[in-house]
Amino acid sequence: MRIKKAAQERCKMEISIGGVVRGEDFFNQEKLMDTLRDVLKRSSVLLVAPRRAGKTSVMQKLLDEQDLYPGFSIKYYNCHTLGELQTVYSEIQVCAAAHLSDTEDKILIIILDEFSSIIDYMLRDQQKNEVIRVLRLFKGLRDNPVYNTKVRFIIGGSTSIDMVLRSINASDLIGDFYRLPVEPFDAETMKMYLEAILPPKHIDLEPNANELIIQLFQKSYPYFINLLIAALKHRYIGKISKADVIRTYREHVITGEGANHFSYFYERVQKYGLVKKSHIRATREILATIAAIGELDENDAFDLFQKYTRSHDKACFDNLMADLENEFYVARRYGSIKYYFAIDVMREWWKRWHPPEDKAYISEAFITMKKDGSHIYYKIHGNSILSKDPELISSMQTALLMYTRDIGFTTPLKKVEFEGESWLISTGDALVLSCKVIGRGSTRKIEEKMKNVVHDVEIEYAESLDKWDGNVNTFSDIGKNIDTLFRW
């Protein structure tokens, strides 16, 4: 492996993993900041985003640039340091009263970072009544006509406040806040971000490697891409290829050291048990299934919810899925009833470490010629960068075929572990069908399906297989056979 030299020239921007970003490192959020300042003129704001999305950085940006906005006077509190909700309320009450006694005609902006987290901690400490009492006082202060034109609040935190308050029937106590999402980067923004943090003299990416990174992280936050970039900086010197990027993505971000950064998102599902303990397992199985197959129909998700909660309460299910959307675990395309992972890299991590417990699913399938290893057909369930990259597909198929040849075809069906993944391989007289399987459930039905597909294809294309001339277009309709493997 090529090891990167210790001495590095300074990037245009610092690569921050988990810390608050400030100044020039706060990248391309001008529109968000403009919206925030505009909304604050008329309403308090709840910043909505998952952990590591940059909510605290947004708050700090507003605080750092308050001199540019003479109409605001800004005060920041980290609720963790104040300890109790009553202490938080007392602080803001004193702060607001002092502001009203000032002769300056400004709007006071009180930033309450980790506000939702302190509520969560108090509820776990059996302080439900105290939480509701103080939240009512807080709501009363905001509704007070003496305050509501002169004082605004920004709240945020690592925990979904909607879910926490719904568990104690107190959702109405924050209903007056404007919900402002901190959105993940799209592909164009991610491209600009890469250009900003990766000058050629610092990391030398081949053009197709640069494009691959954009594909991998086109719906993500800087935090996640920085995990990859930091690893590339320390691992390689000279040209960095697409294969280097894929290897680092798999070995460092999805597994290895980088995988630890995702554990919080799995552990946070425990909070879905605030309503009912059985919701924890239901939530995990829904997410595991979406990760395994790419997307999940709402009706199928509801079936899983009913199975693990023994409840037919559709409203309760709808609330659970809304929480998953609000916390950026899942998303739905406009007008669709199918859920998919909101952040692609999160799906890859979840698929790798937390497969479904009670079922097994085929996530990828391809057919090759047994005689010469020619690649006939490939399909992946759900969106993946592999589905867009023929070069990666071909290299993966070739590696797997060589591996299976090395271990020998001693039975018509073989289970193998290949690069940390589980594969079922079914061989016929002329074809080899390989399927990647995700999940801890029985594969008996999958094995039967695979045997049937190989059998049916070899009968349907018997003449073409007998006179094989290397023309894969002969099998252009084979997709209808492969599609049967993905129906569950």
The per-residue pLDDT of the chain, averaged, comes to 82
Question: What are the distances in angstroms from CA 167 to CA 65, 304, 326, 351?
Answer: 37, 21, 15, 29
- Residue position matching structure tokens 């990174």: 213
Q: Which of 91, 106, 103, 99 lies closest to 41, judged by CA?
A: 106
CA angle 135, 139, 141 (to 5 degrees): 115
CATH class of 29-181: alpha beta
Report the pLDDT value the prediction gives residue 459, as an integer from 0 to 100: 94
Residue 386 burial by Cβ neighbours in a 10 Å radius (0-12, 13-18, 19+): middle
Higher pLDDT, 358 or 453: 453
pTM for the structure as a whole? 0.77
N-to-C CA span, the chain? 42
Report the pLDDT value the prediction gives residue 448, as an integer from 0 to 100: 92
* One-letter identity of residue 190: M
Q: Where are the domains of the chain?
A: 29-181, 187-254, 269-353, 361-486
User: Which CATH topology does 361-486 take?
Assistant: Beta-Lactamase (3.30.450)
The lowest-confidence range among 152-156, 183-187, 308-312, 463-467 is 183-187
Cα–Cα dist 53/328, whole Å: 10
- Tens of pLDDT, residue by residue over 1-19, are 433 333 333 345 666 666 6
- Contact of 79 with 114, CB cutoff 8 Å: yes
Confidence of residue 288 (pLDDT cuts 50, 70, 90): very high
Confidence of residue 45 (pLDDT cuts 50, 70, 90): very high
- Whether residue 316 is predicted with pLDDT greater than 60 in this model: the reply is yes
Mean of pLDDT values over 64-85: 86
Cα–Cα dist 444/306, whole Å: 25
Specify which residues 76 forms β-bridges with: 111
CB atoms within 10 A of CB 412: 13
What's the alpha-carbon Rg for the chain, to the nearest Å? 27
Specify which residues 10 forms β-bridges with: none
User: Which CATH topology does 269-353 take?
Assistant: Arc Repressor Mutant, subunit A (1.10.10)
- Residue position matching structure tokens 């400030």: 22
- Tens of pLDDT, residue by residue over 375-385, are 888 888 765 55
Higher pLDDT, 71 or 199: 71
In Å, how far from its chain's centre is CA 71?
37
Mean of pLDDT values over 406-433: 75
H/E segment holding residue 209: helix 207-216
Report the pLDDT value the prediction gives residue 387, as an integer from 0 to 100: 47
Report the pLDDT value the prediction gives residue 406, as an integer from 0 to 100: 60
- Whether residue 366 is predicted with pLDDT greater than 80 in this model: the reply is yes
- Tens of pLDDT, residue by residue over 421-441, are 788 989 889 998 989 899 988
- Whether residue 334 is predicted with pLDDT greater than 80 in this model: the reply is no
User: In the structure encoding, which two tokens stand for residue 256, read together?
Assistant: 């290895």
Mean of pLDDT values over 273-278: 72
- Beta strands 413-418; 421-427: pairing state: antiparallel
Report the pLDDT value the prediction gives residue 158, as an integer from 0 to 100: 61
